[in-house]
Structure 1
Amino acid sequence: MLILRSLLANVVFYVNLSLWLVFAAFPALLLPRRYLMKVAGGWSRSALFLLRVTSGTGFEIKGLENVPSGGLIVASKHQSLWETFVLIGLFPDPVFILKRELTWIPFFGWCLLKLRMIPVDRGGRARALAQVTRRSRIEMRENGRQLLIFPEGTRRPAGAPPDYKYGVAHLYADLKVPCVPVALNSGLYWPRRKFLRLPGTIRLTFLPAIPPGLSKTEFQALLQDSIETESDRLLALGRSELAKLGLDPLAKHS
């Protein structure tokens, strides 16, 4: 049953994405950007609904009261594809920092460019960081957008040791805005590079904002400690619930 529901969840997810791209996003490319952002939010909500229906994977979001108004950085743990489309539906005008290769995908990449997401060449290092900082400053200070970033740079398996990059501290110091840490346990239910979709409740928590003004070293340490402590708690909670169903995906590593 788990295999069949996972198969159904995967098929439905990509069919749904394709339909939104062809019948909503593609026409919206000819309209002002705000219409395409509404399409992205609609797709996000539909994907969450269909995931719950097909695989029994629901979600719980806490801590939205910790998100201040105005320009800010949202620094999220990254374990699966799930948080990428969830976060985009929670903010009025978000801008993602994402790998450049995503913009090369037909239709999907065109939408990312229309939405003025910020692509980064991960091999460019110092030059790429300078370009990302300049673009982020424009989008946040001049256009009032919310900057969404994954501090570890790429998806990490649930329970893997943290691997935070320096870029988020550089942006925090340069942009001088609050940073909201985000913890989650999505990798238990939507594992990185795996087929299965497990039933249960994915949990995401917005933690208290880190105010501007800390040194890069202080900020980096506080950000990592905040995200990892809460993510570990959510991970333990999710594993306990899955173990009752005989589905703990990390049991073999314990």
Structure 2
Amino acid sequence: MMLALRSLLFNAAFYLFTLVLMVVWLPVLLLPRRWSWHVVPFWARLNIAALRWIAGIEVEVRGRENIPEGGFIVAAKHQSALETFALVPLFRDPTFILKRELRYIPIFGWYTARMKQIPVDRGKKSKALASMTRHAREAIDEGRQILIFPEGTRRPAGAEPQYKYGVVHLYKELGCKVLPVALNTGLFWPRRGFLRFPGKVVFEILPAIEPGLSPAVFSETLVRDIETVSDRLIEEAAEANPDLPVLERVAERWEERGKVPSAGHVHDAAAS
């Protein structure tokens, strides 16, 4: 009962904060982006604080020393809505690659346009790729950080990875570093779930992948690095939080994939 109440309160606070702040801050859209941008990390930090104090979810970030200077691509695992705002304060001037449809949401869409987020029309693959590349190159030239979720959509914790070609294309065309980010957010903020389970969410920033690799080697390296560490973070969370309901489904997904946990914590926690 308490879990449902805390989840309800956080969800209400999250959407209320977002709506109220977007309306109150509308005048900043008239300012140059370099000044108006600061409202976005403020909104993100407010939600992170609400997540901790209301839902009991702490956010830990590891590997900050791996963040390069200047413009580069950030390729993050995507398990929940949490990373769409929790990653923002980690970078100086980030821009997301997002669905074009989000531009049409009243008020919210105005912010994505003013903050020069990169829209992608997923229904027009070749044109969408060319447009995304052009905008991404402009962002890199401006010293910005391009945040992309290589799987294109949220994937449940423990699910078979499904990386798309977009990040490989950008790596090849832009010739810049790619910063992999592993995480375990789906254990505490399940995809399409209402409940928010208390515990420690971990984001781990891995060493950057340097430019110059072949597309095949880059793709293999990126998937291996992100998936290996994300699986380790799931096992760490299972050891610390053996009662997490999501662990049962994670164990089932890993069994379907023929994956054997290195320490057995996921299966032990799911069976307890």
Counterpart of 2:235 in structure 1 is 236
Q: Which runs of 4+ in 1 moved over 3 A?
A: none
Q: In structure 1, what is the Cα distance between the partners aligned to 2:250 and 2:207?
A: 32
Q: In structure 1, what is the Cα distance between the partners aligned to 2:184 and 2:250?
A: 17
The one-letter code sitting in structure 2 at the alignment partner of 1:136 is A
The 8 Å contact of residues 189 and 195 in structure 2, kept in 1 or not, is answered as: yes
The one-letter code sitting in structure 2 at the alignment partner of 1:14 is Y
Normalised TM-score (structure 2)? 0.90
Q: In structure 2, what is the Cα distance between the partners aligned to 1:21 and 1:106?
A: 10
CA gap of 1:252–1:159, structure 2 versus 1, over 3 A, is closer
Q: CA deviation at 1:35?
A: 2.7
The one-letter code sitting in structure 1 at the alignment partner of 2:187 is L
Give CA deviations for 1:193-232 in whole Å, capped at 9, x if unaligned. 1101010010000001100000000000000000000000
Q: CA deviation at 1:242?
A: 2.2
Counterpart of 1:247 in structure 2 is 244
The one-letter code sitting in structure 1 at the alignment partner of 2:28 is A
Unaligned segments of structure 1, at least 5 residues: none
Give CA deviations for 1:40-81 in whole Å, capped at 9, x if unaligned. 010011000011111100110010111110111110001111
Q: CA deviation at 1:126?
A: 1.6
Residue 9 of structure 1 pairs with residue 6 of structure 2: no
Give CA deviations for 1:168-197 in whole Å, capped at 9, x if unaligned. 011001101111100000111111111010
The one-letter code sitting in structure 1 at the alignment partner of 2:245 is D
The one-letter code sitting in structure 2 at the alignment partner of 1:94 is P
Tell me the secondary structure at the aligned position of residue 29 of structure 1. Answer: helix
How many residues align? The count is 250
The 8 Å contact of residues 239 and 248 in structure 1, kept in 2 or not, is answered as: no
Counterpart of 1:28 in structure 2 is 28
Unaligned segments of structure 2, at least 5 residues: 252-272
Counterpart of 1:93 in structure 2 is 93
Q: CA deviation at 1:10?
A: 0.5
Q: In structure 2, what is the Cα distance between the partners aligned to 1:214 and 1:103?
A: 34
Counterpart of 1:77 in structure 2 is 77
Q: In structure 1, what is the Cα distance between the partners aligned to 2:250 and 2:63?
A: 31
Q: CA deviation at 1:253?
A: 5.3
Counterpart of 1:53 in structure 2 is 53
Residue 39 of structure 1 pairs with residue 39 of structure 2: yes
Q: In structure 2, what is the Cα distance between the partners aligned to 1:46 and 1:253?
A: 30
Q: In structure 1, what is the Cα distance between the partners aligned to 2:250 and 2:28?
A: 46
Counterpart of 2:187 in structure 1 is 188
Matches for 1:91-240 after TM superposition, within 5 Å: 91-141=91-141, 143-240=142-239
Q: In structure 2, what is the Cα distance between the partners aligned to 1:40 and 1:118?
A: 16
**Percent of residue pairs identical:** 52
Tell me the secondary structure at the aligned position of residue 65 of structure 2. Answer: helix
The 8 Å contact of residues 103 and 113 in structure 1, kept in 2 or not, is answered as: yes
Q: In structure 2, what is the Cα distance between the partners aligned to 1:12 and 1:229?
A: 34
Tell me the secondary structure at the aligned position of residue 89 of structure 1. Answer: helix
Q: In structure 1, what is the Cα distance between the partners aligned to 2:76 and 2:56?
A: 24
Tell me the secondary structure at the aligned position of residue 161 of structure 1. Answer: coil
Relative contact order, CA 8 A, sep 6+: which one is greater?
1
